[in-house]
Amino acid sequence: MVRETVGLVAYRAGQWAEAISELRAARRMGGGPGHLAVMADCERALGHPDKAIELSRSAEAAELDADGAIEMTVVVAGARADLGQLDAAMVMLEEAGVTDGGADARLLYAYADLMAGADRRADALNWFMKAYDADTEDDTDAADRITELAERVAAGDGGTDDDTDDVDDAEDVDVDVDVEGDDTADVDGAEVDADAEDDDVEGDDTADVDGAGAEVDDVDDAEAEAEAEAEAEAGDVQDVDDTDPGADDGAADGADTGEGQDEDGPER
């Protein structure tokens, strides 16, 4: 009894090596499973999770009472988590009835601790609250864990829950689609603007050439009209010249004839 008491005191003080030594001696003297779960937890604390699992498979483990069996289940689940076997640890607790109504507070606490270790803080908070409700003997620090996790979850740090992952994936896809769509639209718009500018330049050049051609045609028409007017004037002058000499000669002849008649007349 003395060595058993010394071992338990050492365990509570965190003196793992002394605790396991005293409890092992007490079990040899008294027989039975003794504090097998406490010894397994000491092995785990010393960095020997495989030895803790080995103790749970010993013949003495089958002799544990209900309370001792719960303690051993919690310790072995923690040992499997130490080995990186989180899924196996959760399954072990589920097989022990953690998800059933009225589960022991220690099982609920261990399950919540595994959730926290998996960075599933929102789920962990839920299970720590269940553990707190079931812990009528105040055997756990579930209240402290609830306060810590509630602050982090309220700040938006819910961990890597499935819903959070889905939301992050949806945002990456939308952003990629929007960015690609904007870039394509910009490129297409730039090409259309460039084509429009080319059309404007070609249209302006064509208009300038056509306008220049029209001006040349106007000049040619003016010159042709001037030449026609000059020719017309030249024709009028020639007609006048051709007409005047004949008229003058006729008048002169007429005058001469008259004069001869006048002269002849008086003589008769």
Per-residue pLDDT tens over the stretch 4-39: 999 999 999 999 999 999 999 998 888 888 899 999
pLDDT band at 121 (very low <50, low <70, confident <90, very high): very high
The angle subtended at Cα 61 by Cα 55 and Cα 65, nearest 5°, is 140
The whole-model pTM stands at: 0.59
pLDDT at 30 (0 to 100): 83
Residues 6 or more apart whose CB falls under 8 angstroms from that of 12 comprise none
Nearest Cα to Cα of residue 34 among 61, 16, 15: 61
Length of the chain, in residues: 268
Side chain identity at 199, as an amino acid letter?
D
Task: With a cut of 50, say whether residue 257 has pLDDT above it.
Answer: no
Q: Please tell me the predicted confidence (pLDDT) of residue 155.
A: 85
Query: What does the pLDDT read at residue 5?
Result: 94
> What average pLDDT does the segment 160-185 reach?
40
Show the tokens assigned to 209: 């050439």
Q: How many angstroms separate the Cα of 78 from the Cα of each of 73, 129, 197, 206? A: 9, 20, 73, 87
Mean pLDDT for 175-204 is 43
Top CATH class of 2-159 equals mainly alpha
Q: What percent of the chain has pLDDT over 90?
A: 52
Residue 87's pLDDT is what? 95
Contact yes or no for 68/56 (Cβ under 8 A): no
Average pLDDT over residues 212-240: 52
DSSP per residue over 181-241, as a string?
HHHHHHHHHHHHHHHHHHHHHHHHHHHHHHHHHHHHHHHHHHHHHHHHHHHHHHHHHHHHH
